Amino acid sequence: MAGQNLDSQNSDDAQIIAQVCKGLEQVVLKGRTLDWLRAKQSNALATPQHRDLMFGSVRYFFSLKQQISEYLAKPLRNKDHDLEMLLLVGAYQLQFSRRPAHAIVNNAVNACRPLGKPWARGLINGVLRKMQRNPDKFSGSATTNNPEWLVQKISQQYPNDTDALLHAIDQRAPMVLRVNTSKISPEDYCLQLRSGDIPYTISAPAKAIVLATPQPASSLPGWAEGQIAVQELSAQFAATIVLQNMPSGAHAPKLFDACCAPGGKLYQLHEQLSGRFPSHQLVGNDKSPTRLEETRKIGQRLGHTDDSRIVFQNTDASAADAISGGNYDVVIIDAPCSGSGTIRRNPDIRLLLQPEQIQEQQSAQLALLRNLWRGLKQGGTLLYSTCSVFEEENDRVIEKFAGEHTEAHVQPLQLPLGTATRFGWQMLPSEPTTDGFFYALIRKAQSS
């Protein structure tokens, strides 16, 4: 009986590994994102075990691939890329899993069958056994685990922080919560965490809750009741910046959140505005109908969707009809970007991002700024942000934009985490609780 259980466990493990390999092929060979997999090939991420294997193999892809190549007598044929994925998954487990090495190798060998390649059992066994016998050759270093262009760019732009940054993007990201203050106070919510024995710390600057160990959000107390949202710490400063820099005289402010989905900053702002102003109007715009729909669903859980103070709009914010002229006290552009500050959360970015895309992002970011600036009142403020660490998407965007608009006055920012840049404020993932994130604040001068 015990033997039967073991057999079925082994066959489940082999099946899971094969599904992960099929998913990895999509990412590595077809350039699909992990979000795409979640939506279109969800069996590759179905269980915590799938996700560990998938995220781990993607996170350490470059160093694992290098190591595998040292043990293969000749490169695998194009039609056997699935076997390369299988070796990646096996190598990841040999280095990072607590499972016994022999079980890891056996499971990988057994996965040849569900992959339809039983003939490859000997090959997989041979390569992984050789790796297992040479643990000191597990040579993954933060530098080798990156494409060369990324190492170069980080070392050019952050000469003093290169090692810390490269090390940081290999780590797992913390899970951070925002308390929905329209439902419960942070103090009362923390009581629930304590009675549920869920360890956490409070990040003093933003009053965010950092969980000691990530866990499925739906298993947290008060989740279904909308008492909390998952929101990265650096993103939680947006609402504070907006409230602290609200144009004087704005008693019922009008705000335009140009790229709002999935609504993290939108709902946080709404919660804070509700506590401060008798009324406000917040337009949540996004060009993706699917993401806007997801935003609405999140709003339902938080209890905000039927609130007439939030209006959704589905337009391309760089198109002329997205915003009417001179109406808004505040415009927020949480711009689409490379996501380079979130690599530890989205490890596929490191594989998929191409250096030339960064310049393309800059053009799109400038188009958003140029168009939406028209919608801002004189004396109004524009908050620009990205989750990028590259100056091309941050300081250089603001520098170009401010150079073209004499009425654009870049305001100094001072936040509790991160450092000032020439035109804004940069947070880095080497600070353990934040992602890489950039803010810049621009005020539109009153005409004289």
Ligand X SMILES: C[S@@+](CC[C@H](N)C(=O)[O-])C[C@H]1O[C@@H](n2cnc3c(N)ncnc32)[C@H](O)[C@@H]1O
Q: Is residue 302 a contact residue for ligand X (CB under 6 A)?
A: no
Cα-based angle 420, 399, 394 (whole degrees, multiple of 5): 55
| CB closer to ligand X out of 17 and 368 | 368
Q: Which stretch binds ligand X (CB under 6 A): 11-19, 77-85, 122-130, 284-292?
A: 284-292
Cβ-count burial 389-405 (b if 16+ within 10 Å, e if not) = bbbbbbbbbbebbbeee
Pairing of strands 175-179, 228-230: antiparallel
Q: Among this protein's residues, is 112 annotated catalytic?
A: no
Name residues contacting ligand X, limited to 177-236 (CB under 6 A).
Answer: 235
- Nearest CA to 108 out of 37, 45, 16, 29 is that of 16
Q: Which of 17, 184, 228, 259 binds ligand X (CB under 6 A)?
A: 259
Which stretches of 138-230 are DSSP H helices? 148-157, 162-168, 186-195
Q: Is residue 301 a contact residue for ligand X (CB under 6 A)?
A: no
Q: Is residue 261 a contact residue for ligand X (CB under 6 A)?
A: yes
Q: Is residue 265 a contact residue for ligand X (CB under 6 A)?
A: yes
Q: Which stretch binds ligand X (CB under 6 A): 191-199, 245-253, 261-269, 427-435?
A: 261-269
What is the C-alpha separation between 443 and 420, in angstroms, rounded?
18
Q: Which stretch binds ligand X (CB under 6 A): 59-67, 285-293, 406-414, 436-444?
A: 285-293
Smallest distance from the beta carbon of 322 to ligand X, in angstroms? 7
Cβ(331)–Cβ(256) under 8 Å? yes
Q: Is 440 helix (H, G, I), strand (E, B) or coil?
A: strand
Q: Which stretch binds ligand X (CB under 6 A): 27-35, 257-265, 372-380, 388-396?
A: 257-265
Q: Is residue 52 a contact residue for ligand X (CB under 6 A)?
A: no
Q: Is residue 299 a contact residue for ligand X (CB under 6 A)?
A: no
Smallest distance from the beta carbon of 52 to ligand X, in angstroms? 26
Which stretches of 60-80 are DSSP H helices? 61-71
What is the C-alpha separation between 87 and 104, in angstroms, rounded?
11
| CB closer to ligand X out of 274 and 315 | 315
Q: Is residue 304 a contact residue for ligand X (CB under 6 A)?
A: no
What is the C-alpha separation between 285 and 314, in angstroms, rounded?
6
| CB closer to ligand X out of 220 and 269 | 269
Q: Which of 174, 247, 253, 263 binds ligand X (CB under 6 A)?
A: 263
- Nearest CA to 435 out of 175, 199, 218 is that of 175
Instruction: Report, as residue numbers or ranges, the catalytic residues.
Output: 387
Residues that bind ligand X in the complex, under the rule CB under 6 A? 235, 258-265, 285-288, 291, 316-318, 334, 336, 368
